[in-house]
Structures are given as structure tokens and as C-alpha cells.
């Protein structure tokens, strides 16, 4: 649902509830007034008329009971039976009554006095007529006025929030990678955008402009870093390979050159990881169908120099073969970091990369990690306490970020003194070969 629809719907709902509440209150008020008219005012009028007639009767013993358009009186003098009374009024004790429709539906006041028993009857139809004119008609007029005022107020409120709705619609339609800054430029704003909405629109325009500049600066840095950082490292690596090929190179110098070469390779891998992470929102990152076995074999081959001076066997066990659709560069970075970590933490034994039907496991017989270290293994710049040298402590952090970004979960299990097992799972694969 669009934001504008939601805001307008809420305003409309608020006015509907307000009108309903006022209408209910008005109806209840008129109903209460009608009840007061019937039960209080009519009774008071009948009581006053009865008192007035008693005063007349005291002065004129033959005075006739009241007989008007709205009221009819009956007097049962002493010694007379109830035959002088209408049938529906017989048997009533002194008091005030509202007779049901089957008995005439009238309002009756019955009094005992010196001149006899007095009954005053007020026509219920007249009461209803009075209640209609003094209740229903004002009610209709009040409700009509309320509805007109509410509708006008709603139109004014809707016009007041229209700039907010427009602004929300513009921002909602923005492409996060390329926000349409021109839509919020001062010359493009509607005439009714003013006050706080104008301030908000200008702030969003300025903020989006700064974000666009930051994104452009990041793109430029990524592009420049990709070239400027890799080129010197490539020169260093090639120069080290040339020097290592010299036969008369002293053993000490050869060891130092190998350390330089190893660090250069580590730095290349680190730069590759950082560049990929910097381009997480870049849709130009190539994706393709590739056989994961080939990528694993290639990364294992690249990591062999890391174990040149260690009694450690690095090998691949293929229990299945499958292809994957994604970025082979990303998978290379993940596997490279996991294999390098396994090689660095293993001084003797083996590092085995196992390929199964839907995951790849890297198992080593190295120093392993304690439960506390395992909980912090993916934290930035954290290094296991048993490791003595090398590494920056960001390899597993990079692995976690890349695996989360591309939907390839990574699980880590380890036991101090026995080794570590890292598993990269692939939810969607295409099987190539089973039971290899």
C-alpha cells in the first residue's frame, strides 16, 4: 500500500469516527430530552393543572374537569362508581402512569382529593408530536450541520497534508542507487509546499545530494584502489618469484623473499575481499554458472606455498561434484580465507577440503579454539589466543559478510588442541556428479 493512501485513509477514518461519536452523543441527548419531556415536564404540567383545578373546584363545586386539545380530565365524585370513567382508566390507584398502547397509550395523573378522584389524561400522540418537533427536527438539523462542518474540515485537513503525501510519494519512488534529486529541487516543488514540509524537502534534497557525492567518491576510490593497489603488489610478487629462481641466493635471503611473497599474496587476497565488499550494491559484479570443484582445486593449489616449511598435507576430497550460479570471485575469496586460516593455524597434520553434495568443508588438525574463542571467531580483528604470529584478524569477518551477502551460510566448529571445521553451505546447486 502506498504511503499517500495510508495517510489519507487514516485521516478519513479519524473523521468518520469523530462524526460517529458526535452523532451518537447527539442522538442520546435528544433521546434523553424526549424522556425528560415525557417523564418530567408532562408530569409537572399535569400536577400544576390538577392543583389549579382543585382550587377552582373549591370555589365552584360544579366546575367541569379540564378539556383541552392536549388534555382531558375526569372527576369521580364521592359516592360515584367507576362507571363515570373510561374503561381503560378504571382501576388506577393514585399516581402517574404511562399507559401501554392497548390501553390508549396516554400519560395519566391520578389524584385523590376533597372533591373526589381526579384523572388527567395527556394525549400520547401529542407528546410524540411535541417530541418530534422539539427533538427529531433539531437533531436532523444539528447532524446536517455537523456533517457539513466535518466534510469541510476533512477537505481542509487533506489539503494541509497533501504536501506531506506528495513528498512521501517522491521519496518512495526514489531509486536508492540513483535518487531523483531534481524532483526536490526548489524550482520543481509544488506551490502548496511550504512551512515545515518545505524545510523537510530542502533537507532531504541536501541529504540526498551528499549521499550521491559519497557514493560517487566510493566508486572512484574502488576503481582507483583496484588498479593502484594491485599493480605494486603484482610487481612485488613477480620480483620475488624471479629472485627465488636464482640458484646462488643465500638461504637466509631466500627465506625473507618467501615471507615477502607470502605477505604480498595475503595482501592481494585482502584487497580483493575489501573491493568486493565495497561493491556489495554493485550489480555489475559478474555472476555465472561454474563448477565448484574447479574453484576449490584452484584455491588449494594457490595455498600450497603456505605449507612449504610445515609437515602439513593439503589435499582435496571430492565426494560429489556440482555447479553453482553466482560470483566465482566471491567464492574464491571465501575459500581462500578459510584455507589460509586452516594452513596458518596448523603446524602439523593435514588440511583437507571436502566437497559434498551441497556444501564444502575445510577441516584441519591445528590448534583449534576454545568455546569462548569460537564465539568471537567472526569478530573483526579477533585472533585466537594460540596463534603466535601473522594475520590481521579480519579473514573470518570478511567470510561472514560475504556469505551473508550472497546467501551461502558459513558454520564453524572447533575444539582446542584437535582442530577446526568450517562449512560453507549452498542452498541451491546443480548436481554434476555423485559419489566421486
Which backbone phi and psi does 118 adopt, to 5 degrees? Answer: -105, 130
By C-alpha distance, which of 328, 294, 418, 311 is closest to 364? Answer: 418
Tell me if 269 sits within 8 A of 337, measured CB to CB. Answer: yes
In a domain, 124, yes or no: yes
Q: CA–CA distance from 289 to each of 307, 324, 377, 401 (Å)?
A: 31, 6, 31, 22
In a domain, 193, yes or no: no
Neighbour tally for 332: CB within 10 Å: 19
Task: Give the model's confidence band at 1: pLDDT under 50 very low, under 70 low, under 90 confident, else very high.
Answer: very low
Q: Which pairing describes strands 430-434 and 419-425: parallel, antiparallel, or unpaired?
A: unpaired
Cell numbers at 182, concatenated: 531534481
Task: Give the model's confidence band at 350: pLDDT under 50 very low, under 70 low, under 90 confident, else very high.
Answer: very high
In a domain, 321, yes or no: yes
How confident is the model over 80-135, as pLDDT tens digits?
Answer: 888 888 888 888 889 888 888 777 778 888 988 878 888 898 876 766 676 666 66
Higher pLDDT, 130 or 61: 61
Q: Which of 134, 162, 187 is the last residue of a domain?
A: 134
By C-alpha distance, which of 385, 384, 429 is closest to 289? Answer: 429
pLDDT at 38: 64
pLDDT at 434: 44
Task: Give the model's confidence band at 423: pLDDT under 50 very low, under 70 low, under 90 confident, else very high.
Answer: very high
In a domain, 252, yes or no: no
Q: Which of 99, 134, 169 is the last residue of a domain?
A: 134
Least confident of 24-28, 102-106, 179-183, 261-265: 179-183
Residue found by looking up cell 393543572 in the block: 49
Radius of gyration for the chain, computed over Cα atoms and rounded to the nearest angstrom? 48
Residue found by looking up cell 554434476 in the block: 432
- Our count of domains for the chain comes to 2
Query: For residue 331, what are the contacts with CB-CB under 8 A and spacing of at least 6?
Result: 292, 295, 324, 408
In a domain, 92, yes or no: yes
Residue found by looking up cell 566471491 in the block: 330
Judged against a pLDDT cut of 90, whether residue 64 lies above it is answered with: no
For 121, the domain range is 3-134
Torsion-angle region of residue 87: left (phi > 0), alpha (psi -120 to 50) or beta? alpha
Residue 420 sits in a domain whose CATH number is 3.30.565.10
Question: What is the residue-averaged pLDDT of the chain?
Answer: 79
Instruction: Kindly report each contact of residues 198-207 with a partner whose C-beta sits within 8 Å and lies 24 or more positions away, as own/partner.
Output: 198/163, 200/167, 201/167, 204/167, 204/171, 205/181
Q: Which of 92, 117, 134 is the last residue of a domain?
A: 134
Neighbour tally for 107: CB within 10 Å: 23
In a domain, 418, yes or no: yes
pLDDT at 272: 72
Q: How many residues does the chain have?
A: 436
How confident is the model over 330-348, as pLDDT tens digits?
Answer: 888 889 889 988 888 888 9
Q: 3-state class of 22 per DSSP?
A: helix
Distance CA 381, CA 391 (A): 9
Tell me if 182 sits within 8 A of 32, measured CB to CB. Answer: no
Looking at the whole model, is its pTM more than 0.75?
no
Judged against a pLDDT cut of 90, whether residue 361 lies above it is answered with: yes
Higher pLDDT, 266 or 146: 146
In a domain, 231, yes or no: no
Distance CA 401, CA 413 (A): 18
In a domain, 13, yes or no: yes
Distance CA 2, CA 70 (A): 63
Q: 3-state class of 136 per DSSP?
A: helix
Neighbour tally for 30: CB within 10 Å: 20
pLDDT at 355: 93
Q: 3-state class of 92 per DSSP?
A: coil
Least confident of 256-270, 290-304, 349-363, 393-407: 256-270
Cell numbers at 3, concatenated: 504511503
Amino acid at each position: 500500500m502506498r504511503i499517500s493512501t495510508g495517510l489519507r485513509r487514516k485521516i478519513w477514518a479519524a473523521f468518520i469516527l469523530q462524526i460517529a461519536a458526535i452523532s451518537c452523543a447527539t442522538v442520546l441527548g435528544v433521546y434523553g430530552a424526549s424522556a425528560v419531556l415525557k417523564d418530567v415536564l408532562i408530569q409537572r404540567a399535569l400536577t400544576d393543572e390538577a392543583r389549579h383545578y382543585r382550587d377552582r373546584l373549591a370555589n365552584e363545586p360544579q366546575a367541569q374537569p379540564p378539556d383541552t386539545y392536549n388534555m382531558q380530565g375526569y372527576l369521580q365524585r364521592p359516592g360515584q362508581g367507576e362507571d363515570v370513567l373510561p374503561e381503560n382508566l378504571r382501576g388506577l390507584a393514585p399516581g402517574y402512569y404511562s399507559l401501554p398502547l392497548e390501553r390508549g397509550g396516554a400519560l395519566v395523573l391520578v389524584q385523590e382529593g376533597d372533591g373526589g378522584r381526579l384523572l388527567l389524561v395527556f394525549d400520547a400522540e401529542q407528546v410524540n408530536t411535541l417530541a418530534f418537533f422539539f427533538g427529531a427536527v433539531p437533531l436532523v438539523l444539528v447532524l446536517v450541520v455537523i456533517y457539513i462542518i466535518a466534510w469541510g474540515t476533512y477537505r481542509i485537513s487533506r489539503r494541509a497534508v497533501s504536501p506531506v503525501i506528495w513528498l512521501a510519494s517522491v521519496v518512495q519512488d526514489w531509486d536508492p542507487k540513483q535518487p531523483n534529486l531534481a524532483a526536490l529541487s526548489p524550482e520543481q516543488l509544488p506551490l502548496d509546499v511550504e512551512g515545515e514540509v518545505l524545510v523537510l524537502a530542502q533537507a532531504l534534497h541536501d541529504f540526498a545530494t551528499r549521499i550521491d557525492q559519497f557514493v560517487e567518491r566510493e566508486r572512484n576510490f574502488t576503481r582507483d584502489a583496484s588498479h593502484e593497489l594491485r599493480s605494486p603488489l603484482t610487481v612485488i610478487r613477480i620480483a620475488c618469484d624471479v629472485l627465488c629462481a636464482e640458484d646462488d641466493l643465500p638461504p637466509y635471503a631466500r627465506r625473507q623473499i618467501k615471507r615477502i611473497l607470502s605477505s604480498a599474496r595475503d595482501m592481494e587476497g585482502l584487497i580483493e575481499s575489501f573491493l568486493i565488499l565495497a561493491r556489495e550494491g554493485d550489480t555489475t559484479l559478474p555472476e555465472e554458472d561454474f563448477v565448484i570443484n574447479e574453484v576449490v582445486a584452484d584455491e588449494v593449489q594457490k595455498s600450497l606455498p603456505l605449507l612449504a616449511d610445515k609437515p602439513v598435507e593439503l589435499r582435496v576430497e571430492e565426494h560429489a561434484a556440482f555447479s553453482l550460479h553466482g560470483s566465482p570471485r566471491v567464492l574464491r575469496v571465501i575459500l581462500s580465507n578459510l584455507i589460509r586460516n586452516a594452513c596458518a593455524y596448523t603446524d602439523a597434520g593435514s588440511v583437507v577440503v571436502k566437497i559434498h553434495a551441497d556444501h564444502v568443508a575445510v577441516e584441519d588438525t591445528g590448534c583449534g579454539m576454545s568455546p569462548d574463542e569460537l564465539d568471537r571467531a567472526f569478530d573483526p580483528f579477533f585472533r585466537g589466543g594460540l596463534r603466535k604470529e601473522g594475520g590481521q584478524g579480519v579473514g573470518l569477518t570478511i567470510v561472514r559478510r560475504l556469505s551473508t551477502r550472497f546467501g551461502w551460510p558459513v558454520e564453524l566448529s572447533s575444539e582446542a588442541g584437535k582442530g577446526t571445521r568450517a562449512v560453507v553451505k549452498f542452498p541451491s546447486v546443480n548436481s554434476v556428479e555423485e559419489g566421486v
